[in-house]
Each structure stands twice: as structure tokens, then as C-alpha cells.
Amino acid sequence: MALNVLVIGASRGIGLELVRQYREASARVIATARSDAGLAAVQALGAIPLRVDVANPASVSGLAWQLDGEKLDVALYVAGVMSRGDARMPPTQPDFDRVMHTNVLGAMQVIPQVAPLVEEAQGRFAFISSDMGHIAGVPSSYSWVYRVSKSALNMAVAAARFDYPRATLVALSPGWVQTDMGGADAPLTVRESVAAMRQTLTQLTPADSGKFFMHDGQPYSQW
Ligand code: NDP
């Protein structure tokens, strides 16, 4: 039977490529974006479009009723924003709020609405994190607000899995990828990263819930 997939933050980059590849694999895909252009892009790939701005709590809170009755084999929280300062300067509150609201608060608001629908299918719920959120491997404070946000996202996933035992929740690093965020020098094409993450998702077992993986399925042994 065709997979039922939800991609949150699908207007471009990794999210749009997830939509493309799951559609190529004949999945039924529901894809969220916040702009008209983003909604048109997912619709052009045959996905069912939903407007959600993950940084706006009122917008996110509508997800549950929009998805009423769905059983999701795969859900992905992809929306994310970057910030570049380091620990020699304090973050500004607007920048801190922008990054934390998008990368962390949005995910924490999505979990109680979407994880029960993933449980219905005993499915997988992946949160696109980053190597830059890996505390044990941190090489510098570069982009420290972003690093903090992705470490916090990992904790949200690790903690939430206890409340949704019939779903497999994981944090997933996509690698360094050629997108607007990753830039042209990144070693991985978006197609390669997404293909690897899709493969990794198929290999997960319930015992993996709460863990943090690289795109190719290697687990981070220390956080
Ligand atoms: P892009 O900058 O290309 O895309 C970011 C996506 O997030 C866009 O679809 C954007 O939508 C969406 N988004 C941002 N804010 C919101 C919001 N408030 N509501 C809804 N959607 C939003 O980045 P990538 O595709 O590279 O990044 C995807 C994920 O992968 C992010 O979580 C990022 O942190 C992570 N990542 C990426 C890496 C890389 O090398 N590229 C490395 C490690 C992690 P819109 O078009 O409306 O702005």
C-alpha cells in the first residue's frame, strides 16, 4: 500500500526534495509551506498543500484539525533557520527568538498534534537536526544560537518518545547539503542527502526511538 507521508517545511531545499522523492516512490504526500510560492511548489509535485508557519503558534495550532483522521507512516519536521554569530557577542533577542521559535518551539508544538497520527500507523517521525547540534563533537561557537537550537531539538525528540511508544521518533542530521542554507560548497547534493535519509528511515526499529542519526544511518554514540 502507498505510504502516507507528511513533510513540514517543504517549500524548497531538503523539504521540497523529500516531497519529490516520496512522490516519485508513489507515496501520498501532505506538505506544508508558509508562502504561496511554497504551496505552489509542493502542489506541482502532486503533494497535498497545507499552509503552516511553524514560527507562528496560531498557525501551527491548526495542524491537528487539518490532519484529522490521518494515519502517517512517515512524518518529517524539516523547517529550520540559521544564525551566524558566535559566543564573543550575545545574541539579540529577535535573532534568538527567530531561531528558537522555528527550530524548537515549532517542533514542540507539532509533536503532540502529529505524533498520535504517526502512532496510528506505527510509523516514523524524523526531525531534521544538524551535526552542529552534536555537543560531543562541537569544534567552535560558530553559529551558537543555531547549535543551541538543534541540541534542544534533539532533547525534545529524546524526551517525547516516552509519550508516543508506538511511533519511532528520531533526530536526523542531513549532512552538509547544497541548499540555500548549506551553500554551493557543500559536499552532498540535496538528492543524495534525501535518498540516504529515506533509506535510513526504512531501517529504523522501535528500539531506535529517541536517538540521533547521521543521514546515512550511523548513530551518534555520544550527544
Ligand atoms: P533552506 O534554507 O533551503 O530551507 C529552509 C526551509 O525551512 C524552507 O522550506 C523554509 O520555508 C522553511 N522554513 C523556515 N522557517 C519556516 C517557518 N517559520 N515556517 C515554515 N517553514 C519554514 O534549508 P535546508 O533545506 O538546507 O534546511 C532544511 C533543514 O535541514 C533545516 O532544519 C536545517 O537546519 C537542516 N540542516 C541543513 C543543512 C544543510 O547543509 N543544508 C545541514 C544541517 C541541517 P520558506 O521558503 O518559507 O522560507
Q: What pLDDT, in 10s, does the model give residues 37-90?
A: 999 999 999 999 999 999 999 999 999 999 999 999 999 999 999 999 999 999
Going by pLDDT thresholds of 50, 70 and 90, the confidence category of residue 180 is very high
- Which three three-digit cell numbers place residue 70? 490521518
Candidate of 181, 192, 216 to mutate for ligand 1, largest count of ligand atoms within 8 Å of Cβ:
181
CA of 13 to the centre of ligand 1 (A): 7
149 ligand 1 Cβ < 6 A = no
Residue closest via CA to ligand 1's atom 13 equals 79
Which tens digit of pLDDT belongs to each residue from 122-165? 999 999 999 999 999 999 999 999 999 999 999 999 999 999 99
Instruction: Give the strand pairing for 74-77 and 28-33.
Output: unpaired
**Whether the predicted pLDDT of 221 surpasses 90:** no
Place of cell 502532486: 46
CA–CA distance, 42 with 50 (Å, rounded to integer)? 9
Mean pLDDT of the residues in the chain? 97
Q: pLDDT tens digits for 155-166?
A: 999 999 999 999
Among 58, 62, 102, 97, which Cα is nearest to 79's? 102
Residue with grid cell 529577535, as numbered in its chain:
94
Mean per-residue pLDDT, 203-220: 97
pLDDT of amino acid 222: 73
Mean pLDDT of 19-46: 98
Cell numbers representing residue 180 in the block: 540555500
Under a CB-based contact definition with an 8 Å cutoff, are residues 220 and 134 in contact?
yes
Q: Which residues contact 183 (CB under 8 A, 6 or more apart)?
A: none
Residue 110 has pLDDT above 80, yes or no: yes
Q: Is the CB of 111 within 6 Å of ligand 1?
A: no
**Cell 543555531 belongs to which residue?**
146
Query: Ligand 1 centroid vs 143 CA: distance in angstroms?
Result: 15
Pocket mutation for ligand 1, best pick of 7, 8, 12, 154 (most atoms within 8 Å of C-beta)? 12
- Cα(197)–Cα(192) distance, rounded to whole angstroms? 9
Whether the CB of 55 sits within 6 Å of ligand 1:
yes
Which residue from 6, 123, 114 is spatially nearest to 61, judged by alpha carbons? 114
* Model pLDDT, residue 200: 98
Mean pLDDT, range 167-192, rounded to an integer:
98
Average pLDDT, integer, range 17-30 = 98
Domain coordinates of the chain in residue numbers? 4-213
Instruction: Verify whether ligand 1 is closer than 6 Å to residue 174 (CB atom).
Output: yes
Ligand 1 mutation pick, 52, 150, 179, 212, max ligand atoms within 8 A of CB: 179
Q: Tell me the sheet residues that pair with 213.
A: 172, 219
Q: Which CATH superfamily is domain 4-213 in?
A: NAD(P)-binding Rossmann-like Domain (3.40.50.720)
pLDDT-based confidence at 223, cuts 50/70/90?
confident
